[in-house]
């Protein structure tokens, strides 16, 4: 079982590497962009059928 000290030590070792920091930052930006796109992009309802509307 992993204790909290071991987990913190593992995270410190991973984030001490410059490459790992950038991968982490890029991942956060990608997740943020995904949430933003999901909430901002709206699809036109003029071209949809009632069956398509219920799938959302």
Q: Is residue 52's pLDDT more than 70?
A: no
**Full 3-state SS string of 1-56:** CCCHHHHHHHHHHHHHCHHHHHHHHHHHHHHHHHHHHHHHCCCCCCCCCHHHHHCC
Domain hosting 50: range is 4-54
| pLDDT at res. 48 | 67
What is the C-alpha to C-alpha distance for residues 33 and 54, in angstroms, rounded to an integer? 26
Q: What is the pLDDT of residues 7-33, one digit of tens each?
A: 778 777 777 788 888 888 999 999 999
Total count of domains within the chain: 1
Q: Is residue 43's pLDDT more than 70?
A: no
Mean pLDDT for all residues in the chain: 76
Residue 9 DSSP class: H
Q: CA nearest 45: which of 29, 56, 30?
A: 56
The model scores a pTM over 0.85: no
């Amino acid at each position: 079982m992993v204790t909290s000290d071991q987990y913190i030590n593992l995270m410190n070792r991973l984030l001490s590497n410059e490459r790992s920091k950038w991968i982490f930052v890029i991942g956060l930006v990608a997740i943020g962009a995904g949430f933003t796109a999901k909430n901002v992009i709206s699809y036109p309802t003029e071209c949809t059928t009632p069956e398509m509307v219920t799938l959302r």
